[in-house]
Amino acid sequence: MNKFVTRTLSGTVYVLIVVGAIYAGRIMGHKTIGAAIFAAVFFIIGLIGIYEYVHNLELKGVKSNKAMAFVAGIATYCGLIVPLMASGLWALESQPIVSVIHASAIVLALLVPVLYLTTFIIQLWRNDDEPFTTVGHTLLPSIWIMTPLAFLNTVQSISAGLTMMIFILIWVNDSFAYMTGMLLGRHKMWERHSPNKTWEGTIGGALFCIAAAVFAGSHFATDIHAAGWAVIGLVCSIAGTLGDLVESMFKRYCGVKDSGKIMPGHGGVLDRFDSILMAVPFVLLFIGIINL
């Protein structure tokens, strides 16, 4: 099959999954079911991301405790979204059930650091010349992949439109950075990690990203003013670009071209979500600041 056709079909499936998850509540006509579908979709995406991380390290010959990487990642994701459930997004009218959810949130909140510390303890019984490197690579997926995806659920609980807009802004930034770089790119930005990325392309992507945020943002989330959208556009552009560079740094370290093969023509989950993983926490932080 023609590479362009393969890439287009794969990209279409990717967009449909993301948009379908974001608007699942409207499609199903039930907010709680929609929130559950959204959480499940990005949970699966996170698990694939963890697999790509430990698998590429394995190709490099670097050790990690793969089982604990998944256990810690699952605990981190659940430990962050269950309190969100307890806050009322998924709470049912029955008070006893709400109390159970709150209790579960406390247990999971305590479980996450316990599991992290258990990873250190397990290393005592492993024959490993670099135990702290192994621990670091075991726990890093929880920080880099699962935590931002859990925070994405918080963004979704604020507004599905805000979630959709973050994805749109990342896509706009990537697309126009590429096009501007192709037309005007002269000065390399960070050749050591991404030899094709230029300052001209990065600036062009940022300008279009900010413009898209200002002119389209109010159609997705009406309670954020134009100046706020301009900042969100800038945050998505800067954080998204840095996220792309971080993932490029990881791939160069592992000696691979793509993080995975799940999306023909696009690579893996980390290739497609690298910018989102970096942008979401910073956007959420900004939203929290302006609401204070």
Task: Check pLDDT > 90 for residue 96.
Answer: no
Q: Which of 158, 174, 189 is the last residue of a domain?
A: 158
| pLDDT value at residue 90 | 47
Nearest to 59 by CA among 243, 220, 257, 208: 257
Both 272 and 168 in one domain: the answer is yes
pLDDT (tens digit, 9 = 90+) per residue, 181-226?
888 867 777 666 666 788 888 899 999 999 999 999 888 877 788 8
Point out the domain boundary residue: 128, 158, 188: 158
Nearest to 281 by CA among 183, 173, 150, 167: 150
Do both 163 and 99 map to the same domain? Answer: no
**Is the pLDDT score of 2 beyond 80?**
no
Which among 158, 189, 211 is the end of a domain? 158
Rounded to a whole number of angstroms, the CA Rg of the chain reads 20
Structural domain total, the chain: 2
Same structural domain, 215 and 126:
no
Alpha carbon distance 101, 95 (integer Å)? 10
The domain of 163 spans 159-292
49 and 77 share one domain: yes
Rounded CA-CA distance 197/246 in Å is: 13
Angle at 252 between CA 178 and CA 17, to 5 degrees: 55
pLDDT of 241 reads: 93
Q: Where do the DSSP E strands lie in the chain?
A: 188-190, 194-198
Note whether 185 and 105 are same-domain residues: no
- CB-based contact 147:281 (threshold 8 Å): yes
Chain segment 10-47, per-residue pLDDT in tens? 889 999 999 999 999 898 888 888 999 999 999 999 99
pLDDT tens profile 137-186: 999 999 999 999 999 998 998 889 999 999 999 999 999 888 898 888 67
Q: What is the pLDDT of residues 237-272, one digit of tens each?
A: 999 999 999 999 999 999 998 898 888 777 899 999
Cα–Cα distance between 130 and 63 in angstroms, integer? 9
- Do residues 141 and 4 share a domain? yes
Residues 76 and 251: their CA atoms lie apart, in Å, by 24
Q: What does the pLDDT read at residue 108?
A: 66
Q: Identify whether residues 147 and 192 lie together within a single domain.
A: no
Which amino acid does the sequence have at 278? M
| Whether residue 102 has pLDDT greater than 70 | no
Burial class (CB in 10 A: 0-12, 13-18, 19+), 117: exposed
103 pLDDT band, cuts 50/70/90, is: low
Indicate the pairing of strand 188-190 with strand 194-198: antiparallel
**Alpha-carbon span 90 to 101, nearest angstrom:** 9
Q: Are residues 167 and 147 in the same domain?
A: no
Pair 113, 193 in one domain: no
**Are residue 104 and residue 46 in the same domain, yes or no?**
yes
- pLDDT tens digits along 52-92: 999 999 999 998 999 999 999 999 998 888 776 665 544 44
pTM of the model: 0.89
